[in-house]
Amino acid sequence: MSTHSNSKIEWPLWEIFVRSKQGLDHKHVGSLHAADAAMAIENARDVYTRRMEGISIWAVESKNIHASNPDEAGSLYDPANDKAYRHPTFYDLPNEVEYM
């Protein structure tokens, strides 16, 4: 958006991912600004884990995230819809079969 004459370069934006406990995936929690990766992790600790929400933090500079285009969601994900045979419920098993 518009910038004004007296503005300097902003600290880059980082996306923050937090692992809430051992055994779970890191999950996106939000973003923040920091001069470098070390500061991003320190700030993320203060901003996103003040109440033991996490035990591990990933910080990724936002410009390095590549996203799929929502306008292509139709063509990208639709073909999965007509492949019901990918799901176990597609198959009728004889009643005698247990534990499958």
Partner 1 sequence: MQNQQDVLFQNKVDKEIRIEPKDWMPEKYRQTLIRQISQHAHSEIIGMLPEGNWITRAPSLRRKAILLAKVQDEAGHGLYLYSAAETLGISRDEMYHQLHTGKAKYSSIFNYPTLSWADMGVIGWLVDGAAIMNQVPLCRSSYGPYARAMVRVCKEESFHQRQGFDILYTLGKGSEAQRKMAQDAINRWWWPSIMMFGPKDDESPNSIQSMKWKIKRFSNDELRQKFIDVCAEQVKVLGFTLPDKDLKWNETRKHYDFGEINWDEFWQVIQGNGPCNKERLEARKKAWTDGEWVRDAATAYAAKNKAA
Binding residue (CB under 8 A) for partner 1 from 67, 84, 93, 100: 67
List CB contacts of 22: < 8 A, sequence separation 6 or more.
55
Torsion of CA 32, 35, 38, 39, to 10 degrees: -60
Q: State which of positions 34-63 bind partner 1 (CB under 8 A).
A: 35-36, 39, 46-47, 50-51
Binding residue (CB under 8 A) for partner 1 from 22, 23, 52, 69: 69
**Residue ranges with strand state E in 20-55:** 26-33
Q: Which residues bind partner 1 (CB under 8 A)?
A: 1-4, 7-11, 13, 30-33, 35-36, 39, 46-47, 50-51, 67, 69-71
